[in-house]
């Protein structure tokens, strides 16, 4: 008799949380720091001043990303916690209504009424709060808000992204600083967009082109503003 094999499927949806934070952080790091370097250099600033501005942008941007992500995800976490507390109270005071509510959810998903009631009864006997959190509120351990993790990921990836144009700025000659930094930033943006699309199961070229386009627009506008202010000195 052949041995049964368990078919394990790998889905990409469980990557959404960390992938979003990582891509957002790295993308912002490259775009903002690359644009900052190009803009300051276009204003005819000395190379040392451009590097100082880039380092300041890296540190400030990392802290800003961490704080913003922490506050945002904390708000989501607070909402989830409040919903869970309400479900916990309702289960303690009116378990029959909660069982009927859960069964009604399964009926809407296609189960027959009798089977839906049986499923609701068995799941609630095993983990009533977990069943309602997952099927009524859409909250699971896999996708639960994690503020500290999100803040750390955003800060770290921003710093890594910002380091790319900063390093290019430090090694490029002043006469070619702008094209070198812009070119390096575009290469890394395209790579980032392609990798993110690949990990997320989307089209690689489309992801690379999308990120590169907005990066080019940001650096182009910043360079124009920097050049304008350089003319007014």
Is the predicted pLDDT of residue 139 greater than 80, yes or no?
A: no
Is the predicted pLDDT of residue 219 greater than 80, yes or no?
A: yes
| CB 40, CB 53: distance < 8 Å | yes
Which string of DSSP letters, residue by residue, matches 141-183? Answer: TTT---HHHHHHHHHHHHHHHHHHHHHHHHHS-GGGHHHHHHH
Q: How confident is the model at residue 125 (pLDDT cuts 50, 70, 90)?
A: confident
Q: Which of 141-150, 156-165, 200-209 has the lowest mean pLDDT?
A: 141-150
Phi/psi of residue 203, nearest 5 degrees? -75, 125
Average pLDDT, the chain: 84
Q: How confident is the model at residue 91 (pLDDT cuts 50, 70, 90)?
A: confident
Q: How confident is the model at residue 7 (pLDDT cuts 50, 70, 90)?
A: very low
The phi-psi region of residue 208 (left if phi > 0; otherwise alpha if psi is between -120 and 50; otherwise beta) is alpha
Sequence-separated (6 or more) residues with CB below 8 Å from residue 89: none
Is the predicted pLDDT of residue 98 greater than 50, yes or no?
A: yes
Q: Which of 15-29, 55-69, 215-229 has the lowest mean pLDDT?
A: 15-29
Write down how long the chain is.
233
Helix (H) or strand (E) holding 18: helix 16-42
Question: Residue 110: CA atoms inside 13 Å, Cβ hemisphere, count?
Answer: 0
């Amino acid at each position: 008799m052949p041995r049964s094999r368990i078919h394990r499927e790998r889905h990409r949806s469980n990557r959404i949380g960390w992938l979003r934070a990582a891509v957002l952080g790295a993308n912002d790091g490259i775009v903002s720091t690359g644009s900052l370097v190009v803009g300051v250099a276009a204003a005819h600033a000395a190379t040392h001043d451009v590097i100082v501005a880039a380092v300041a942008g890296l540190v400030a941007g990392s802290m800003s990303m961490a704080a913003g992500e922490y506050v945002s995800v904390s708000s989501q976490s607070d909402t989830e916690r409040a919903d869970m507390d309400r479900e916990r109270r309702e289960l303690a005071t009116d378990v029959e209504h909660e069982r009927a509510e859960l069964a009604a959810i399964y009926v809407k998903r296609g189960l027959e009424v009798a089977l839906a009631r049986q499923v609701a009864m068995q799941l609630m006997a095993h983990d009533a709060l977990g069943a309602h959190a997952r099927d009524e509120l859409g909250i699971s351990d896999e996708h639960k808000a994690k503020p500290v993790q999100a803040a750390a990921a955003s800060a770290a990836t921003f710093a890594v992204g910002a380091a790319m144009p900063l390093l290019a700025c430090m090694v490029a000659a002043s006469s070619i600083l702008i094209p070198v930094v812009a070119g390096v930033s575009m290469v890394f943006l395209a790579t980032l967009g392609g990798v993110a699309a690949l990990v997320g199961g989307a089209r690689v070229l489309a992801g690379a082109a999308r990120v590169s386009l907005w990066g080019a627009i940001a650096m182009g506008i910043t360079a124009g503003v920097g050049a304008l202010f350089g003319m007014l000195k």
